[in-house]
Structure 1
Amino acid sequence: MQLQRTICLLVASVSIGITGCVPLSQSNAQISQTPTTTQTPLREPDVVYVPTPQEVVDEMLALAKVTKNDVIYDLGSGDGRIPVTAAQKFGTRGIGIDINPERIQEANANAQKAGVSDRVKFLNQDLFTTDISQATVVTLYLLPELNVRLRPQLFKQLKPGTRIVSHDFDMGEWKPERTVQTKEGSTIYLWTIPKEVPPNLR
């Protein structure tokens, strides 16, 4: 895992596009099963694809207190394990965004295999230009500078009370509400979108 983290920090190129979203009209809306993919990435990924261990996925969902009423947006969704796990365990609906079409195909195959294709959808998009306004939970596994770059988008689009959970990397000056250390040696951070954004974070 330490080697994976080192790779993640040193190489600028993962499945984001995370770790890790397209709008749903409402949390209980039917999600189309038709994947949107292209033959080549929209642009070069920002980070090297490193899957989040399943144990960490479980901890992230627990920390966010995910329920069947939530809509998860996984930004940089990779093989789709976060939305798929949430759908299997809690009946949650989810959207995964990844810039690499190969990851989208893999995630859709995993959702089909898990029997949750009616609850999750994976889209080949750039997370920095995606509408995430329907999310009630956002999950991330990006680099610190990407989290900070994403922060204005989170404040602008997400409703107050939306929970954000990040694997291993924080949000700079935006201090987390909770920080959890897993048995596997990972760190998980939790934030909630406030009613008013502090001036120093705008």
Structure 2
Amino acid sequence: MRRRAFLTGSAALLSACASPAPQREIEGELLSTWEPTPHPVVRKMLEMAQLQPGELLYDLGSGDGRIVIAAAEEFRAQALGFEIDRDLAHLSQKAIRSKRLSRLARVVPEDLMTADYSKPDVVACYLTPEGLAKVTPKLEAEMRPGTRLVAYKFPIPGWTPVQTETMKDPDPNIPLHEIFLYHR
């Protein structure tokens, strides 16, 4: 199914502009808008998941690839990101190549609903509550015992976290950052 999604600007910005924001065609269903996860939060997510060298991490809705890149660069893990926006996936791959991480990291322009969740050791995600509700049944059906899942900002519906962390942002105008760790 083809969908058009506004990927830039906010409602206020759109109404203030004379011309509409650029549109991109997206293959599949958009389960989150892109909002980059702050770098300190990325590091904390990977630390909470106890990501080890050589393990496989999936990043759902990987955006600019920062979780995939950090997993490969800082933790020497294999990392695969799923990003439905082809432009973001392309930019992520470009960043991965520029950091010479292609042997460890990759972002594919695919719908995360097509992924095989029986393979990763760790799953990372920052999806909307609606997006989490849609992917949760697939995760429950496919994730193998022992897989760790770390979610940013929103908890997984119906799951009980084994650990929750709250981080303050240096900017007092930004709300607290919540991270949820789950074990299957």
How would you bin the TM-score normalised by the shorter chain?
Answer: 0.7 to 0.9
Task: Report the Cα offset of residue 140 of structure 1.
Answer: 0.4
User: 1:8 corresponds to which residue?
Assistant: none
Task: Report the Cα offset of residue 129 of structure 1.
Answer: 2.1
Task: Report the Cα offset of residue 149 of structure 1.
Answer: 1.9
User: 1:132 corresponds to which residue?
Assistant: 117
Gaps of 5+ in 2: 8-23, 170-175
User: 1:147 corresponds to which residue?
Assistant: 132
- In 1, distance between residues paired with 2:121 and 2:83? 19
1:110 is matched by which residue type in structure 2?
Answer: A
Is contact 1:164–1:190 with CA below 8 Å preserved after alignment?
yes
Task: Report the Cα offset of residue 100 of structure 1.
Answer: 0.4
Q: Residue 157 of structure 2: SS of its match in structure 1?
A: coil
The percentage of aligned residue pairs carrying the same residue is: 32
Gaps of 5+ in 1: 1-11, 15-38, 194-202
Q: Number of aligned pairs? A: 158
- In 1, distance between residues paired with 2:116 and 2:6? 22
1:1-202 map, 5 Å:
40-43=25-28, 45-184=30-169, 185-193=176-184
Q: Residue 86 of structure 1: SS of its match in structure 2?
A: helix
| Larger CA Rg, structure 1 vs 2 | 2
Q: Which has the higher contact order (CA 8 A, sep 6+)?
A: 1
TM-score, L = length of structure 1:
0.74
Instruction: Report the RMSD for the aligned CA atoms in angstroms.
Output: 1.7
- In 1, distance between residues paired with 2:32 and 2:75? 29
Task: Report the Cα offset of residue 155 of structure 1.
Answer: 1.6
1:189 is matched by which residue type in structure 2?
Answer: F
- Cα 1:43–1:155 shift into 2, 3 Å: closer
TM-score, L = length of structure 2:
0.80
Query: Which one has the bigger strand percentage?
Result: 2
- CA deviations on 1:19-38 (whole Å, 9 max, x unpaired) are xxxxxxxxxxxxxxxxxxxx
1:120 is matched by which residue type in structure 2?
Answer: A
